[in-house]
Amino acid sequence: MIQRFCLGIAFASVIALSIGCQSAVYSTYEKFGVYKRDLLKTRVIAARNEEKEAGEQFKDALTKLREIYGSSGSNLEKTYDKLKSEYDGSVAKADAVHKRVRDMETVANDLFREWESEIKQISSASMKASSRDQLRQTRERYDDMHRALKRAEQSMDPVLIKFRDHILYLKHNLNAQAIASLKGEAVSIQNDIARLIEDMNVSIEQADAFIKQMP
């Protein structure tokens, strides 16, 4: 019981410290004239760029996956090593996308929370209504972009799981018979990667549109 209480206190302290650190970061930026709106734009750009790089990485992996079925027996191990390298690179890029999206979400949530709080402080009814309308429009544009980004982000992990299973099986059975037996699964993974790349392209377009509409 005491241990649980102590763990609860420790967790609460970590959360409070994290919030305090984030506030300190915002305060420092604001001293240089950089506000949450500016930071959100920067984070969206970073998430978009990271997703572009991830898309290129998945395209390379798709190419390698196709190549392995056109390889001769003497080149199987070398091609497997290249494919494994592409898989590792894809995992790293997916992790980077996850981080960029979380960073973007943090700033967006803080921006909208602050905006709502400040609207309550406006005494003019017309200005309050105008600011509230601006907030609504900005949030709607953000939500559209965020949904597309999350759809692409969440599509990565299932693809990587199937990709990993494929590579592990190849590692254990690196021969012509194994390659032949995996052709059906390889086509499925290739289709998944192609759909993932399409989702990424859509979310990148949404991010571009959101960025252009921000001042």
Residue 101: its pLDDT value, please?
96
Helix-helix angle 125-172:183-213, to 10 degrees: 160
Round to whole Å and give the CA distance between 71 and 67. Answer: 6
Residue 204: its pLDDT value, please?
95
Do 111 and 48 sit in the same domain of this protein?
Answer: yes
Q: Are 93 and 57 in contact (CB under 8 A)?
A: yes
Round to whole Å and give the CA distance between 156 and 100. Answer: 14
Residue owning tokens 């790293």: 92
How many separate domains does the chain show? 2
Do 78 and 120 sit in the same domain of this protein?
Answer: yes
Do 25 and 114 sit in the same domain of this protein?
Answer: no
Q: Are 35 and 29 in contact (CB under 8 A)?
A: yes
pLDDT (tens digit, 0 to 9) for every residue of the chain, 215 residues total?
444 433 343 344 334 435 567 888 888 888 888 888 999 999 999 999 999 999 999 999 888 887 776 655 556 677 778 888 999 999 999 999 999 999 999 999 999 999 999 999 999 999 999 999 999 999 999 999 999 999 999 999 999 999 998 888 888 877 766 667 777 777 888 899 999 999 999 999 999 999 998 87
Residue 188: its pLDDT value, please?
86
Round to whole Å and give the CA distance between 156 and 58. Answer: 9
Residue 139: its pLDDT value, please?
95
Round to whole Å and give the CA distance between 88 and 94. Answer: 10
Residue 6: its pLDDT value, please?
38
Do 115 and 166 sit in the same domain of this protein?
Answer: yes
Domain around 63: 37-213
- What are the E-state strand segments in 138-178? none
Q: Are 199 and 147 in contact (CB under 8 A)?
A: no
Do 11 and 77 sit in the same domain of this protein?
Answer: no
Do 79 and 20 sit in the same domain of this protein?
Answer: no
Do 103 and 4 sit in the same domain of this protein?
Answer: no
Do 197 and 177 sit in the same domain of this protein?
Answer: yes
Do 27 and 58 sit in the same domain of this protein?
Answer: no
Do 102 and 121 sit in the same domain of this protein?
Answer: yes
Do 207 and 133 sit in the same domain of this protein?
Answer: yes
